Amino acid sequence: MPRQADPDLEKRILNAAQKLWRGGGDKTMSMRTLARAVKTNTPAIYRRFKTREDILRALLLQVRKDIYEALQGAQSLEEVCERYIDFALRRPSEYELYYAHQYEFLRAARVKGRGEMPVFEWALKRFAEPLGKSPEERMRVLFAVWALAHGTATLLIAKATPPELAKELRAGCVNAVVDLLRAAKERAR
């Protein structure tokens, strides 16, 4: 009698891959280790995902979704920055995966256009007014906000600043966003 396909195998593979990635990033996630964690064999994994990069791409897409969900309740761009930094600090390995590989995965998939940037699309719709009048100005201001939040998150993850300055760094990021938005509003008048 032939074996029944496990309908939950793909989900179990991704859950195990996520745990392995959180535990040590690239160094801890080999296909063999992943197969052991899922209690299967490597051919079963390769039947679901052709390459290790396909698994990483699936993890990346999950992280992108998780970031989007973490920001949804924000009432201001300042709060978006706070939530964004909090996400990065809670899940540093996944955050690093996302920003280290997002571009190459999207390019490899030949995905183009802003439609692949759900957080930016959401922020543009949700917070359009304080960003400026023209779509170009709004995008420029939003990229500056993201650069501030991403830079702050990256510095905090890397522990590139003394721990006693972490709160000041975060406050400086949020204050810079407030100043940036104020300047954008003034230009839009």
pLDDT tens for each residue of 76-105: 999 999 999 999 999 999 998 888 776 665
Same-domain status, 44 and 95 = no
Q: Is the pLDDT of residue 114 over 50?
A: no
Tell me which residue has tokens 């998939």. Answer: 109
Report d(CA 152, CA 32) in Å as an integer: 36
Tens-digit pLDDT profile for residues 4-30:
677 889 999 999 999 999 888 878 888
Last residue of a domain, one of 29, 50, 71: 50
Q: What percent of the chain has pLDDT over 70?
A: 89
Same-domain status, 36 and 107 = no
Q: Is the pLDDT of residue 31 over 80?
A: yes
Using alpha carbons only, how large is the chain's radius of gyration in Å?
20
Q: Mean pLDDT, to the nearest integer, of 150-158?
A: 95
Same-domain status, 110 and 160 = yes
On whether residue 55 sits in a domain, the answer given is: no
Report d(CA 123, CA 87) in Å as an integer: 17
Residue-wise burial string across 125-145, b where 16 or more C-beta atoms lie within 10 A, e elsewhere:
eebeeebbeeeeebbebbebb
Q: Which domain holds residue 36?
A: 1-50
On whether residue 182 sits in a domain, the answer given is: yes
Domain count, the chain: 2
Same-domain status, 174 and 126 = yes
Same-domain status, 104 and 136 = yes
pTM: predicted TM-score of the whole model, two decimal places: 0.84
What is the average pLDDT value for the chain, to the nearest integer?
Answer: 86
